[in-house]
Structure 1
Amino acid sequence: MFAIQFDEPGGPDVLKIREVPRPIARDGEVIIEFEASTINPADVKIRNGQIAPRAAHSPFTLGYDIVGTVVETGGSSLTDLPVGSRALGMSAMAVSGIGTWSQFVKLSADSVAPAPEEFEAATLAQLPLAGLTALQGVQALDLAEESDVLVVGAAGAVGNLAIQLLRNRGHRVHALVRSDEQAERLPAEIDRHVGDIPDSVVDAVLDTAGIDMSDALHPGGRHVTVVPGSAAVDAKLIITRESGAMLRDLVRELDQGLRLGEPIVYPISEIRSAHAHFERGPERRIALVN
């Protein structure tokens, strides 16, 4: 089977398409045949050496998100993930060392959820990592009803989903972005801020960009970051964890109107060009398809 790998950190040119052995599912595991994934900032940081995967060694296989078809299961208890069904999952690659940019991906069944058929694979592949990060960040805030919440980095993939999740839960959302152009793309119903925000105006801050906006908090407000190494050093750090149960929750949110944008799509065979495009800073997400 193919896999996208690199031996030593560097630019997009270090990425190689290789033939590697196909995995075998053990009890409680599933194997998903690759249909689509996305490029996330963590993929680039791992490729260029800013992040070193804890449980892996060279060569490294990249990738967090996966949408595809279940082709093998270990054990007989996976009744909602039968062979031939569509699934989506997230592999915490920086922790587990298991990347999803390969023809067949082995994951714990607990990390996988049934995938809705009505979405294009490239669109749906935007959900796992960004959605789990946003949902776990929102849950970590442990908010009272109708709180004022600032989302830092609101124009990004995680920030966009966090805004929607917060609004769906009845909170008043403030969004911090870098430019007027980004602000114009945000929902008109939220308070949009470019570059800065007044002091002491919100009950909670969710940092998705690594920026310290703690001055915006009321005294005693809640502060969560999903960015390792964030400048928000006093914020509670959330490291996104795999969760099939939460992915099921996010799929239900899709049924209730959670929106995923239309990505820019590259064949996975053009992975170097896709990475180069990502590093130029596109305003839409980049999906990879087989």
Structure 2
Amino acid sequence: MKAITYEEFGPAADVLSITEMPVPSPAPGEVLVRVHASGINPSDVKLRGGARPGAVMAYPLVIPHSDGAGVIEAVGQGVDAARVGQRVWIWNGQWQRAFGTGAEYIALPSEQAVWLPEGTSFAEGACLGIPALTAWYALFGDGPIEGKTVLVTGGAGTVGRYACQMAALGGARVTTTVSSEEKAAHSGASDWINYRTDDVTEAVLDMTQGAGVDRIVEVDFAANQAASLALIRPGGTIASYASASQMRPELDFYGFMFKNIRLDMLIVYQLDAATRRKGEAQLNQWLDQGALSHAVVPAGGLEDAVAAHQLVEAGQKLGTVVLEV
């Protein structure tokens, strides 16, 4: 099979290559998936670039990408043979594993290949594992949000766009922050604030008649901490999945404490099994109903991996970069 591989950290053009490798065999409890689409997330390109402090190659050779979608072609011992032929979406394909979805085939634990409804394309399925599940967990990780007011920062991002949709589907009032009218339209939220031209705190307080919000889905904890503290209601939740502007921000502990705030620092890779099953079921219900829209950025095939990684790194795309396999 053809696979995208790298043997050392570095720029995409220097370390990525297309390699011929044997098709893997599913071990007990595993399935073999013929990959049709491989999603590329910022975490994938950061990992390949060695961006984490003290990063070392965990494996001598890596096939990148955690998200993907395809069809089960074989099953290992202990897996129901009826799953052969099933369309699936994949999560954690390359989390603590050497070989991810950037190849024609992947063998992985059966629970990591989730039924994909017929109305959802493989390219759309390749957007679910990290962006969509992160959005779901940030919103519903501690219960229903019906009747709540939710602020999604960065609503044009891959997680933010899903969060805007899911908050509305969950019965919440949703407001988002964006940097342009184009990104506002992309987010799909009817209430939005241009953080480049408007005072976000003032605008949200005006929208909520001074009450603030019950929950914040946060794309950059450090950059937005002051606004978050001003806007979150007592007893509210800030669910943050990144803090790129400052990886070790100084926390205004007493400010949050005296509002009895819950701070959720979340990473979707570490979801416990029971919570993940709830998320998968909810996502698939919405998919089956045609309730979610997806922002797929087509980027070619496996041979276009270098350009695709560079596209993600440039940060200008609107949606998830996907390779067709």
TM-score normalized by the length of structure 2: 0.79
Tell me which residue corresponds to 1:10.
10
Question: Share of identical aligned residues, percent?
Answer: 27
Structure 1 stretches lacking a partner, 5+ long: none
Instruction: Decide which of 268, 283, 290 is 2:318's aligned counterpart.
Output: 283
Call closer, same or farther: CA 1:232–1:7 in 2, change over 3 Å: farther
Give distance in 2, aligned partners of 1:217 and 1:42: 28
Instruction: Decide which of 223, 236, 248 is 2:238's aligned counterpart.
Output: 223
Q: Deviations over 1:82-116 (max 9, x none)?
A: 21222111126344444211221112111221122
Conserved 8 A contact 2:9-2:57: no
Q: 2:197 aligned with 1:197, yes or no?
A: no
The structure with the greater share of residues assigned to helix is: 2
Aligned partner of residue 223 in structure 1, secondary structure: strand
Tell me which residue corresponds to 2:287.
254
Whose radius of gyration is greater, 1 or 2? Answer: 2
Tell me which residue corresponds to 1:238.
266
Conserved 8 A contact 1:54-1:95: no
Tell me which residue corresponds to 2:90.
89
Aligned partner of residue 141 in structure 2, secondary structure: helix
Structure 2 stretches lacking a partner, 5+ long: 206-210, 254-262
Tell me which residue corresponds to 2:302.
268
Equivalences, count: 289
Mapping 1:135-146, distance limit 5 Å: 135-142=136-143, 144-146=145-147
Q: Deviations over 1:238-281 (max 9, x none)?
A: 11136466334312112331111343231111111212222232
Give distance in 2, aligned partners of 1:142 and 1:135: 11
Give distance in 1, aligned partners of 2:322 and 2:212: 37
CA deviation after TM superposition for structure 1 residue 225, in Å: 1.1
Give distance in 2, aligned partners of 1:212 and 1:283: 22
Call closer, same or farther: CA 1:245–1:268 in 2, change over 3 Å: farther
Mapping 1:24-43, distance limit 5 Å: 24-43=25-44
Call closer, same or farther: CA 1:209–1:101 in 2, change over 3 Å: farther
CA deviation after TM superposition for structure 1 residue 191, in Å: 3.9
Which piece of structure 1 moves more, 149-158 or 192-201?
Answer: 192-201
Call closer, same or farther: CA 1:36–1:231 in 2, change over 3 Å: farther
Q: Deviations over 1:36-82 (max 9, x none)?
A: 011111111111111378993232221011111111111354366x2
CA deviation after TM superposition for structure 1 residue 288, in Å: 0.2
Aligned partner of residue 176 in structure 2, secondary structure: strand
Call closer, same or farther: CA 1:6–1:60 in 2, change over 3 Å: same
Give distance in 2, aligned partners of 1:249 and 1:92: 21
Conserved 8 A contact 1:92-1:240: no
Conserved 8 A contact 1:111-1:244: no
Q: 2:95 aligned with 1:115, yes or no?
A: no
Matched residue type, 2:286: E
Q: Deviations over 1:164-211 (max 9, x none)?
A: 111111111110123343124333533434245216721111113454
CA deviation after TM superposition for structure 1 residue 26, in Å: 2.1
Give distance in 1, aligned partners of 2:60 and 2:125: 30
Give distance in 2, aligned partners of 1:53 and 1:95: 13
Give distance in 2, aligned partners of 1:107 and 1:245: 21
Tell me which residue corresponds to 1:105.
106
Tell me which residue corresponds to 1:131.
132
RMSD: 2.7
Conserved 8 A contact 1:266-1:286: no
Call closer, same or farther: CA 1:273–1:191 in 2, change over 3 Å: closer
Tell me which residue corresponds to 2:80.
78
Give distance in 2, aligned partners of 1:8 and 1:284: 28
Give distance in 2, aligned partners of 1:271 and 1:232: 37
Give distance in 2, aligned partners of 1:112 and 1:121: 13
